[in-house]
Amino acid sequence: MLLHYITNTPISVPHSYSAFSSHQSPFHFRKTLPQSSHHPSPLGQLHKRLHVCSGMDAIGVSLKKEVAVGVDASIEEEYVSLSKLYKEFTNMSTIDKAWTYKSPNGKGSHATFSIGQPNLFANKKKKLMLSSFISEDSNGTLHVQWSPFPIEITGASVMVPSPSGKKLLVIRNPENDSPSQFEIWGPLQLEKEIRVPQSVHGSVYVDGWFEGISWSSDESLIAYVAEEPSLCKPTFNDMGYKKDVGPTDKDCNSWKGQGDWEEDWGETYAGKKQPALFVLNIDSGDVRAVDGIGRSLSVGQVVWAPTTKGSGSGSHQYLVFVGWPSDTRKLGMIYCFNRPCALYAVKAPLFGTEIKENAINDVSVINLSQSTSSAFLPRFTPDGKFLVFLSAKSAVDTGAHNATNSLHKIEWNSEGEPSPAKILDVVPVVMCHEDGCFPGIYSHNALSKPWLSDGSTMIISSIWGSKEVIISVNVLSGKVSRITPSDSNQSWSLLSLDGNNILAVCSSLIDIPQIKYGSLAKDESKDATWHWQDVSTPTSESHEKVKSLLSSLQFDILKIPVKNVQENLTKGANKPFEAIFVSSKSKHEACDPMIVILHGGPHTSLLSSFSKSSGFLASLGYSLLIVNYRGSLGFGEEALQSLPGKAGLQDVNDVLTAIDHAIDMGLADPSKITVVGGSHGGFLTSHLIGQAPDRFVAAAVRNPVCNLALMVGTTDIPEWCFVESFGSKGLSTYTEAPSPQLLKLFHDKSPISHLPKVKTPTLFLLGAKDLRVPVSNGLQFARALKEKGVEVKVIVFPEDTHAISRPQSDFESFVNIGVWFKKYCKK
């Protein structure tokens, strides 16, 4: 499913260059940047595509005009006030990625940050680049020099620096029938521009999951994943069917038919049907499809294998990739880590004089991970001896869309052809952990080079309870260490490694993100220790309004004991779960009204990291109770697996238990509680207002699951309905044509079964292009509530999918949530 309330880590940019400044920037023109005095970077040479950020201030005016229709004056003033406040939060940018590379003289490092900033007026996300030079003096004091302005990159789908940092790949995906555009930038200029027509392949995958863009070690080749060319469609003209027409042939006297329907990979992958593997030769500009894979596999996450010893002229270069079976029904992929997958090796294609006669006959795909049902994110150790990877076997085997991961390795054969090898455990699944101890790996991304200089220590981000932390894993010994401070409730997100140093972002629900630089202590003690320093930024004085609002808040992570501990549950399932409580520092005689915030999934988590939407709601004068009920990530596998088969019961009871706990502690007034959730959080919200109709004065739901019997036949993840309703045995019950008996069971486990008891005013926020929980689910429930006289408000976003994440849609959503709750929950 989907988590609606986790956002990327924001970082401030200079206010005068933010997307919505109070005045127009004088720098609104194309400009070539001066070169760094340290080392010319290819990032600085994108002058034909770069803009300095400009300002504008149009949203507030248009909002006034929109809400004035059919709205009384007091509500209109609420819209004006809340939209102005939320704009302070949405102006903030997010760090998406960072890269570091040593300067040529070996003194200091260059760091480049890829930053996103919502552009409300254009309803798009700006992509910015911000560069810096980092050095440490003899006393270990950090010095950072920043470029004067962030730079906007227009039209780029993805940017990937080469391993040396001397080249930069920029990919621009096609619009309509245009070719894909590959640009290779060097230190001084654009060195190569290559256009790949759609007859070779469609858009390059830059989704973060199928996505795999990998430079070869000599930086002459780039392997990547792109959509396979479309199958030929029938052509018709005034004479009828036209024969012998190619897939891209155009003729003004004919038209293309639709042809056979082909399944895609569901939510956010509309039209994405067959990700395939390609290699680009930078020198010649040639692009070749990798032979031998076939359409029975969809591929992703490609990396170059270490060069085989003794191979001449690259004739034995191998690619390692992840393959998902695609010869049966394609179930939705995004956020669904329970899809079976394996690691494969295949010979890279040859170019030019390397091509031998009948070379294609020598191509075969080798399954490297036959003994496990899941293997992804392959990474080679620096010495090339081991291939390390993550596994979601627990999710695949149980059907839960997300679960506790494990880390494994296989020995790599550097002498000849790769072959299936014994899989060795590095970090197994943690079933039940002791208090304060490592709960298991919860991560689905990794740096392209995640290694410290010893070549065996891997650095990754992972969820640990209600926090994100950074951990180190020694892949030889299996030792796991938490390297971010253990005495902090803040969350830490890994950005990049700089030798034995780490660039990270630290934030909390009441602290805007701060870039941190971690250094491994130089002493030879047995347990490595890390020293963290703040990285000063040119934006330290920006967003004073947001910082001022957050400074009046405090938060804590509450341990919530399970009510009615059951003997038939595992130890992990009976352990306390967590809720994050955000409140004002000011003491009042009466409690502030409280918003209960519920995540989707259900196997995700809401973390203590900064959230624009949560910060906005807390700034309106509400306390927040953010519940990570049993089944959430970060608490061990036993706790997680206690939920499937009990959705709508155990999770509902956990939320009510958390509310009672807050009331008992004197943190909440039972007469002033609202609830909001999206996806499975909307399922919980809809259940709560039916099962506990007197507990909530108002509710808001974003793309909620309201009727499983309706959803099962229309969603891209029908098996989710079976697993969350019936547990892992739902996998054997799963069918595309549920019987009337099954449909009745689905109805009985759905919020709609409690419809007669609902009386809570409810706001519905729905994405019309949602393939995960189609809009019909929310509309049916809203219409039924309206029919029985419950006050309902429905907003449908025509172009939004499940996340409702387009900038204008996000903005309108949370402004309306704020207005809705203020209407029914007065302070």
| Catalytic sites, residue numbers | 679, 770, 802
Q: What does the DSSP assignment read for 579-600?
A: EEEEEESS--SSPPPEEEEE-S
Half-sphere exposure of 686 (CA within 13 A, CB side): 35
Structure-token match 């990919």, residue found: 171
SS3 assignment, position 452 = coil
Residue 545 CA: distances (Å) to CA of 88, 92, 620: 7, 11, 13
Q: Determine if the peptide bond prior to 602 is cis (ω within 30°).
A: yes
Q: What angle do CA 668, 670, 675 make, to 5 degrees?
A: 85
- Give the residue from 162, 169, 173, 163 showing the smallest Cα distance to 207: 173
Query: Long-range contact list for 152-157, CB < 8 A, 24+ apart?
Result: 152/50, 152/51, 152/52, 152/53, 152/126, 152/127, 152/128, 153/46, 153/49, 153/50, 153/127, 153/128, 153/129, 154/49, 154/50, 154/51, 154/127, 155/49, 156/49, 156/127, 157/203, 157/204, 157/206
The DSSP bridge pattern shows strands 297-304 and 318-325 to be: antiparallel
- Alpha-carbon dihedral sign for residues 26, 122, 803, 772: negative
In whole angstroms, what is the distance from residue 304 CA to residue 357 CA?
Answer: 24
Nearest to 670 by CA among 625, 614, 620, 616: 625
Q: At what angle do helices 73-90 and 544-551 cross, to 10 degrees?
A: 100
Q: How far is CA 614 from the centre of its chain?
A: 18
Tokens linked to 306: 């270490």
- Taking the CB of residue 138, how many other CB atoms lie within 10 A of it? 5
Angle between helices 59-67 and 73-90 (to 10 degrees): 150
Give the number of other CB atoms < 10 A from CB of residue 245: 18
Looking up tokens 């070996």 gives 106
Q: Which residues have a Cβ under 8 Å from the Cβ of 759 and sit 6 or more positions away? A: 689, 693, 790
H or E element at residue 609: none
CA distance 448 to 465: 26
Name the β-bridge partners of 763: 700, 793
Beta carbons within 8 Å of 377's beta carbon, 6+ residues apart = 301, 322, 389, 390, 444, 445, 446
Sign of the Cα torsion 580, 91, 804, 276 reads negative
Greatest pairwise CA separation for the chain in angstroms: 86
Q: Which two tokens stand for residue 252?
A: 């003004």
CB-CB contact of 560 with 466 (8 Å): no
Place of tokens 């949530």: 817
Gap between the Cα atoms of 573 and 650, Å rounded: 11
Find the helix packing angle between 612-619 and 73-90, rounded to 10°: 140
3-state secondary structure 9-76: EEECCCHHHCCCCCCCCCCCCECCCCCCCCCCCHHHHCCCCEEECCCCCCHHHHHHHHHCCCCCHHHH
> Could you tell me which of 128, 134, 127, 126 has the C-alpha nearest to residue 36?
134
Instruction: Sort strands 762-767 and 698-702 into parallel, antiparallel or unpaired.
Output: parallel
Phi/psi at 672 (5° precision) = -135, 60
